[in-house]
Amino acid sequence: MKLKTSFKIALLAASAFIVLGTISAGCNSGTNGKSGSDSTQNSSDDNTLLGAGSTFVYPLFSKQFAEYNKQTGLKINYQSIGSGGGILQLTNKTVDFGDSDAPLTPDQASKMGVPVLHIPMCSGAVVISYNLPQVKDTLNLTPDVIAGIYLGKITSWNDPKIQAINKGVSLPNTPIVVAHRSDGSGTTNIFTDYLSKVNEEWNQKVGKGTSVNWPAGLGGKGNEGVSGLIKQTPGGIGYIELAYAIQNNMPYAKVQNKAGNYITPNIASTSAASNVTLPADSKIFLGNTDAADGYPISGFTWALIYQEQAYNNRSANRAKNVLKLLWWNIHDGQKFCESLHYAPLSPAAVAVAEKILKSATYNGKAIL
């Protein structure tokens, strides 16, 4: 009966708390409830840019775009609809830029038809949050326990495998209610890439991607939706971006990394995981880091733009505005990362991002 009650509560939470975020820096209105291409038609106003995608980076973009608007007057309307949605809208050319926490797959890239640039914006941690009000201690979780929960094999919070790594903690006999993303999500890609690296059964049965066939649990749309499910469901557990957990006063676990250390997700441990050499195209996964002090479930988020910006009758001025915004993001905009619990780009990562942005063209000529 307890399990049925938990699921009923979770379903109610899903309907009540799953929302989408929209940044409309410098504007008085957002999407007016519209979705998809209806609300993101290319604007003829070159002083208003349109973006869509990752909910993972939404808190940071919200701050950056508001500050950029104050400095330049440029308006940026960003829809927090998930990485998959942002990729789709960029494919349909209804936005100026997308944002994804996963690089384009070969299939996604082929649908674009032309080269797409990946510009790293920052890195962040994906945390395992849970709803156990009676537990005051921060829980430890291992890769096998996390995989066991998401495979549907560990179903109660006082399971011996959880108790063994949390000695002295009184764990309740509460059913575990798993929450996961229902939409195409780069956060999901970071999480499932990690599970695929640390658990062979997960790798064989489920695998990694922005969307997977979940063995257990309930789906919420966006980091916002999963956060809502966890908060409103006794015994709930889910993966969300660190900033969402902190902003909503939600507890999150220490996770054992490859070195065997239980690591608290924060700026220092995320920076340690992201202190790697980026390839020239910047596409790299950070999960299951070798760094002894690195948090193991973290990743970059990338702004996505077409390398050739002269399409859909876009003006040269509009293309330049896009490039100048992203250039500002990887330079002056980085100062807003730490206060919002993201790891700023390393100097080496900034250098890679600069080269990528300088490769963007308008009618074959460099924009920057």
CATH number for the domain that contains residue 98: 3.40.190.10
pLDDT given for residue 11 in this prediction: 43
What pLDDT score was predicted for residue 43? 53
Assess if residue 307 is contained within a domain. yes
Question: 45 pLDDT band (50/70/90 cuts)?
Answer: confident
In the predicted structure, residue 320 carries a pLDDT above the cut 70: yes
**Are residues 197 and 250 both part of a single domain?**
yes
* pLDDT for residue 21: 55
Domain membership flag for residue 48: yes
For residue 205, is pLDDT > 70? yes
Count the Cβ atoms, other than its own, within 10 Å of residue 114: 9
Same domain? 247 vs 229: yes
Kindly state whether residues 92 and 137 are assigned to the same domain.
Answer: no
Predicted local distance difference test score (pLDDT) of residue 268: 95
* Number of separate domains in the chain: 2
Mark whether 38 and 96 lie in a shared domain.
yes
pLDDT tens per residue, range 330-355: 999 999 999 999 999 999 999 999 99
pLDDT at 165 over 60: yes
CB 250, CB 136: distance < 8 Å: no
User: Phi and psi (nearest 5°) for 342?
Assistant: -110, 155
133 with 269, same domain: the answer is yes
In a domain, 110, yes or no: yes
Give per-residue burial for 203-235: e unless 16+ CB within 10 Å, then b. Answer: beebebbbebebeebbbbbbbbbbbbbbbbbbb
Q: Which residue has the higher pLDDT, 69 or 210?
A: 69
Nearest C-alpha neighbor of 7 from the set 225, 233, 237: 233
Band the pLDDT of 38: cuts 50, 70, 90. very low
137, 242: one domain: yes
Q: Is residue 282 part of a domain?
A: no
Token pair recorded at residue 286 = 């950070």
232 and 312 in one domain?
no
Give the global pTM.
0.83
At residue 184, the pLDDT reads: 86
Average pLDDT score over the chain: 89
CA dihedral 260, 261, 267, 268 (to 10 degrees): -100
* Contacts by residues 37-46 (CB-CB < 8 Å, ≥ 24 positions apart): 37/89, 37/92, 37/94, 39/79, 40/77, 40/79, 40/89, 40/94, 40/95, 41/94, 42/93, 42/94, 42/95, 42/96, 42/312, 42/314, 46/315, 46/317, 46/318, 46/321
Query: What domain range is 216 assigned to?
Result: 2-16+125-274
Same domain for 224 and 149?
A: yes
Please check whether residues 131 and 110 belong to one and the same domain.
no
Q: Fill in the amino acid letter for 288.
A: N
Query: Do 255 and 202 reside in the same domain of the chain?
Result: yes
Asked if pLDDT for residue 298 goes beyond 70, the answer is: yes
Q: Is residue 29 part of a domain?
A: yes
Same domain, yes or no, for 12 and 24?
Answer: no
Amino acid present at 308: E
Whether 281 is covered by a domain: the verdict is: no
> In terms of domains, do 154 and 251 share one?
yes
Residue 286 domain flag = no
- Does residue 283 sit within a domain? no
- Asked if 270 and 298 count as a contact pair (C-beta separation under 8 A), the reply is yes
